[in-house]
């Protein structure tokens, strides 16, 4: 039995997998909110470089990973696949639990998989500078690392409450040479508007997105970059599942269950989409996306067109959403606090190829601590959702006496998030489940937008 399955550098996948070639029902096109008509690629040109817009709408099944991107991937990829034997033993489960460790990247999560690719495509398109937003700071740090690798300037609008609470993330960004400012900031019209309402505005991801887009479209040689949700982001993340397929094949295994945590859906999609391709072609696999019960876009939201941001600057996307006015509770899994879900993941949920499940904050931290005390690695609060789901499935396998093979994406480590563990270990963390009447109110506001 192997505990750690490594791929050789030369066996790193050379192409990303684009599920848009295989989906039973295509993703509905983004709509122009002013006209209700599908937007055209040229309308996105001020926001993203055209080479990434082409990937966004591509239906080519396999897309070559440029050599310059592969070279950077080799800084930390291929990532190891582990069998969690100590966790299995602790649970007394007949299930075999495998986890793909995406926490070994320089930024500590899966996010550099797309950050490196996006920085590269911006660079070759002639872009000199990127503007982006970050919530808890994971995306900002991943893109700072990537922009530094390709010699691009970066400005990060960081949600003010996180900026104040998480100084270490800002320091990572600055170490890689990026500029990080609290949002709302005085640097944009959108930011000034919110600051005028409240000089101590805590900020939100939606406001920070609006600021970053405004910055990108009004500054020379600049573009905007998003760390999740969009089709091209999910595409870049498929390197996770493609590597895992090779690693499992090398030891003669194939998963019965594939699990990831889902905020915007990118790390989950990264591990799951190559396996969903097999499922579309008849394989019997159970694919589960784990989300927080305080921000339950897939399990309690509806499938509808909605804005991607609070300030209504983005096109309308067909996705599972709680409404763009939803303000999630300040749970510690900052990366999972998004009102919507990736359009690709949402469509696959509608087609019953993905089962969404929600977990509360306390059960996810209990799972994360169990993981740290068996397997050693301290997981990110987001990752704890995938672990809670994995433990639930491993216990079910025990009850049923079945030797199930479980593959989980371990999306990142929690070393920069120890304050969250402090809150949990000292009993200060509570469970917050979004009340149904509040959800009903939010969903009612969506009636004015088209149904896909
Ligand atoms: C950002 C983040 C997530 C959630 O984002 P997705 O786009 O849903 O993957 C999950 N885990 C970690 C460690 C993150 O940094």
Domain, as residue range, for 116: 15-64+111-231
Give the span between the Cα atoms of 298 and 206, in whole angstroms: 19
Q: Is the CB of 115 under 6 A from ligand 1?
A: no
From first to last of its 452 residues, the chain has per-residue pLDDT tens of 889 999 999 999 999 999 999 999 999 999 999 999 999 999 999 999 999 999 999 999 999 999 999 999 999 999 999 999 999 999 999 999 999 999 999 999 999 999 999 999 999 999 999 999 998 899 999 999 999 999 999 999 999 988 998 899 999 999 999 999 999 999 999 999 999 999 999 888 888 998 999 999 999 999 999 999 999 999 999 999 999 999 999 999 999 999 999 999 999 999 999 999 999 999 999 999 999 999 999 999 999 999 998 888 899 999 999 999 888 877 788 788 889 999 999 999 999 999 999 999 999 999 999 999 999 999 999 999 999 999 999 999 999 999 999 999 999 999 999 999 999 999 999 888 888 998 999 999 999 999 99
> 385 and 283 in one domain?
yes
The reply to whether ligand 1 has any atom less than 6 angstroms from the CB of 412 is: yes
The residue among 167, 196, 231 that closes a domain is 231
Q: Is 86 exposed, middle or buried (0-12, 13-18, 19+ CB in 10 A)?
A: middle
Say if residue 91 is in the same domain as residue 147: no
Residue 31 DSSP label: B
The angle formed by the CA atoms of residues 407, 369 and 257, to the nearest 5 degrees, is 15
For residue 6, tell me if it sits in a domain. no
**Exposure on the CB side of residue 366, measured as CA atoms within 13 A:** 11
Rounded to the nearest 10°, the torsion over CA 357, 360, 365, 371 is -20
Other CB atoms within 10 Å distance of the CB of residue 4: 10
* 8 located within any domain: no
User: CB-hemisphere CA count at 13 Å for 13?
Assistant: 22
Q: How many domains is the chain built from?
A: 2
Same domain, yes or no: 307 and 349: yes
**Closest residue by CA, ligand 1 atom 13:** 412
Residue after which a domain boundary falls, among 231, 264, 288: 231
Q: What angle do CA 181, 183, 188 make, to 5 degrees?
A: 90
Q: Which two tokens stand for residue 392?
A: 């639930």
Specify whether 89 is located in the same domain as 197: no
Is the CB of residue 109 below 6 angstroms from any atom belonging to ligand 1? yes
Q: Indicate whether 98 and 138 sit together in one domain.
A: no
Which pLDDT score is estimated for 336? Answer: 85
Which pair of structure tokens corresponds to residue 447?
Answer: 């009636």
Residues 263, 294: Cα–Cα separation, whole Å: 12
Q: Residues 90, 22: one domain?
A: no
395 and 325 share one domain = yes
Same domain (yes/no): 80, 159? no
Judge if 359 and 339 occupy the same domain. Answer: yes
Assess whether 226 and 256 both reside in one domain: no
* Integer Cα distance of 50 and 72 in angstroms: 22
Three-state SS string over 137-204 comes to CHHHHHHHHHHHHHCCEEEEEEEHHHHHHCHHHHHHHHHCCCEEEEECCCCCHHHHHHHHHCCCCCCC
**Residue 197 Cα to ligand 1 middle (Å):** 31
DSSP code of residue 25: S
Residues 6+ apart with CB under 8 A from 386: 259, 260, 261, 268, 290, 408, 409, 410, 411
Instruction: For the beta carbon of residue 198, count every other beta carbon within 10 angstroms.
Output: 9
Q: How far apart are CA 213 and CA 189, in angstroms?
A: 11
* Domain membership flag for residue 295: yes
How distant, in Å, are the alpha carbons of 96, 145, 207, 220, 402 from that of 256?
10, 35, 41, 50, 11
Last residue of a domain, one of 209, 231, 253: 231
Half-sphere CA count of 236, side-chain side, radius 13 A: 27
Q: Is 262 touching ligand 1 by the criterion CB < 6 Å?
A: yes
Residue 130: which of 139, 119, 138, 141 has the closest Cα? 119
Cis status, amide bond into 208, omega within 30 of 0? no
Pocket lining: 261 vs ligand 1, CB cutoff 6 Å: yes
What is d(CA 359, CA 361) in angstroms, rounded to the nearest whole number? 7
Same domain, 227 and 242: no
Sheet holding 222-224, edge to edge: 179-183, 153-159, 129-134, 222-224
pTM metric for this prediction: 0.97
Binding site membership of 266 for ligand 1 (Cβ less than 6 Å)? yes
Closest CA to 134 of 264, 242, 288: 264
Mutate to test the pocket of ligand 1, among 101, 104, 107, 111 (most ligand atoms within 8 A of CB): 111
pLDDT at 337: 84
Residue reference for tokens 């405004």: 214
């Amino acid at each position: 039995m192997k505990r750690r399955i490594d791929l050789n550098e030369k066996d790193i996948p050379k192409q990303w997998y684009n599920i848009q070639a295989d989906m039973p029902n295509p993703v509905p096109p983004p709509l122009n909110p002013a006209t209700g008509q599908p937007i055209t690629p040229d309308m996105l040109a001020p926001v993203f470089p055209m080479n990434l817009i082409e990937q966004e709408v591509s239906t080519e099944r396999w897309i070559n990973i440029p050599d310059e991107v592969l070279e950077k991937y080799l800084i930390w990829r291929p990532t190891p696949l582990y069998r969690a034997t100590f966790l299995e033993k602790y649970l007394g489960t007949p299930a075999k639990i495998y986890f793909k460790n995406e926490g070994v990247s320089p930024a500590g999560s899966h996010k550099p998989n797309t950050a490196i690719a996006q920085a590269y495509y911006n660079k070759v398109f002639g872009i000199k500078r990127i503007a982006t937003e970050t919530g808890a700071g994971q995306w900002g740090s991943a893109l700072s690392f990537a922009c530094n690798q390709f010699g691009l300037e970066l400005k990060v609008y960081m949600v003010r409450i996180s900026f104040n609470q998480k100084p270490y993330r800002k320091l990572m960004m600055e170490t890689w040479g990026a500029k990080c400012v609290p949002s709302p900031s005085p640097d944009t019209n959108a930011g000034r508007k919110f600051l005028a309402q409240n000089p101590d505005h805590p900020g939100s991801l939606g406001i920070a997105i609006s600021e970053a887009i405004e910055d990108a479209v009004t500054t020379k040689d600049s573009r905007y970059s998003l760390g999740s949700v969009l089709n091209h982001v999910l595409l870049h993340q498929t390197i996770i599942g493609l590597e895992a397929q090779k690693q499992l094949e090398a030891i003669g295994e194939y998963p019965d269950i594939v699990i990831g945590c889902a905020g915007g859906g990118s790390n989950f999609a990264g591990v799951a989409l190559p396996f969903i391709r097999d499922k579309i072609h008849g394989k019997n696999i159970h694919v589960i996306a784990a989300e927080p019960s305080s921000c339950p876009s897939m399990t309690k939201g509806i499938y509808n067109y909605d804005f991607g941001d609070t300030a209504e600057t983005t096109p309308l996307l067909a996705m599972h959403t709680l409404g763009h006015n939803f303000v999630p509770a300040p749970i510690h899994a900052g990366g999972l606090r998004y009102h919507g879900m990736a359009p690709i993941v949402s469509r696959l949920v509608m087609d019953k190829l993905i089962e969404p499940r929600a977990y509360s904050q306390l059960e996810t931290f209990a799972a994360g601590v169990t993981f740290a005390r068996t397997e050693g690695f301290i997981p990110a609060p987001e990752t704890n959702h995938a672990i809670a789901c994995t433990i639930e499935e491993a216990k079910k396998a025990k009850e049923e006496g079945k030797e199930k093979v479980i593959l989980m994406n371990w999306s990142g480590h929690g070393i920069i998030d120890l304050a969250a563990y402090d809150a949990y270990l000292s009993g200060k963390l509570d469970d917050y489940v979004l009340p149904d009447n509040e959800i009903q109110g939010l969903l009612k506001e969506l009636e004015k937008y088209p149904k896909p």
